[in-house]
A and B are shown apart, each in its own frame.
Chain A
């Protein structure tokens, strides 16, 4: 089972973001999507979880065409997908335990004690034991991100979508998060899709990296392939040298 996007088009008003995107995420791998800001990376993730629907083309997750699912089926699918938001998007009216428990409460046949046990388990997994009763505003940026991760994995999803998990964190915390992402894959067997601008991080966590440019996949390959790529646009991105990109276009 995997995630497959076929010839996906999506425009926001005049802004044609996705222009015939084809992308496949293989089962069990961690795929990083890199690309310039505003290239539509988050849009891809939102299509995978059904927050956005394509203007045309198919988004197939776990063998199910997302845009054809009704509400019930979509909710069922979403239980298999954990979404880690850029700024965690924790519910600030709830404490951390309640935040993590949110997804679990939508599971049938889950009792309160089971839910709380699972919450502790998830928080332990992201090294946030003892923060159950704290509120998001009381936590540091890194803790919030980890709490968001804990919430995403609470329902034991098969897929984890990370929207810039390391942006805005100090290098140590970045490493912590990276290790968590790797741990998710190794311990839980999760298929991961990571959007990142952080090349070092991408090298550490990814099996494959794709670069999004002008609404399509420009380059894709394993970490080694990407490192060796001669594509000037990719190189400009990797090396942070705008002049290469100018030459490329």
Chain B
């Protein structure tokens, strides 16, 4: 290498090496975290706290988003349907899209911002202030202490938050149909039930589980490998949000292909 200028070939080479290296790190982290699952005595007590901060604390923002999504969906559906199609299909559209798609994905994205960033920032701060090293010297496996409870909380609580958000979205869609669209409750419910299959709920829960896994894992990954000081933490948080948002959309498409 002469000087600072990289030839394109070198650039590609370095890029590839870095990608493979991150994959390796991710794999290492994953296997480590799986191994750390044994240390229940370390992550067990932490799980509850994480369930609160990942799950319970996320309910308000998720519900907030769902309220408006539900209303917009109802109005949008009625706008689209105006004409030859019966209005009760507004119920179908609100229910179907809220339960299977918008509930999980919008909530997932919001939580990718909230949970992904805070996870990366927390873990990243602990990394750059040597708290992770301190954990190790105190005979704690940092993966068991930091990563496992967060990821588990994500996997457990994302479905919880998303189920609540979807329900709220459907309810506000219903309310909007009654108040803004002059539909009757019976009409809305008829449309709601028309195409509902229990699999919709399973589908949403499966998606939510994977979103929870992805958001918390990605947050932990970037936090764990944060470098430098506050700047490094910021970079980690930003990357965590971007990458987990992208992965949520990719996963969404993946599940649609695999399960539908």
Interface residues of A (CB under 8 A from B): 46, 49-51, 71, 75-76, 78-79, 81-83, 85-87, 89-92, 102-103, 106, 151, 155
Contact = CB atoms under 8 A, between A and B. Distances in A.
Which 10 A-B pairs rank lowest in CB-CB distance, beginning with the nearest?
A75-B139, A89-B134, A83-B137, A89-B130, A103-B138, A106-B139, A78-B139, A89-B131, A85-B130, A102-B138
A85 B134 contact: yes
B141 interface: yes
Contact of A87 (B129, B136, B139, B141): B129
Nearest to A52: B133
Contacts of A51: 133, 136-137
A102 B130 contact: no
A209 B56 CA distance: 54
Most chain A Cβ neighbours within 10 Å, of B125, B130, B134, B137: B137
B140 interface: yes
A91 to B, nearest CB: 6
B35 to A, nearest CB: 9
A78 B130 contact: no
29 contacts: A46-B133, A49-B137, A50-B136, A51-B133, A51-B136, A71-B141, A75-B139, A78-B136, A78-B137, A78-B138, A78-B139, A81-B137, A83-B133, A83-B134, A83-B137, A85-B133, A85-B134, A87-B130, A89-B130, A89-B134, A90-B134, A91-B126, A91-B131, A91-B134, A92-B125, A102-B138, A102-B140, A151-B134, A155-B138
Contacts of A83: 133-134, 137
Interface SS, B side: helix
A50 B136 CA distance: 9
Most chain A Cβ neighbours within 10 Å, of B131, B133, B139: B139
Contact of A106 (B125, B129, B140): B140
B24 to A, nearest CB: 15
A85 B125 CA distance: 15
Nearest to B141: A71
Nearest to B126: A91
Interface in B96-135: 125-126, 129-131, 133-135
A79 B136 contact: no
Interface string B65-90: 00000000000000000000000000
Interface string B43-64: 0000000000000000000000
A81 B138 CA distance: 9
A51 B137 CA distance: 8
B37 to A, nearest CB: 14
Contacts of A92: 125, 131
A165 to B, nearest CB: 14
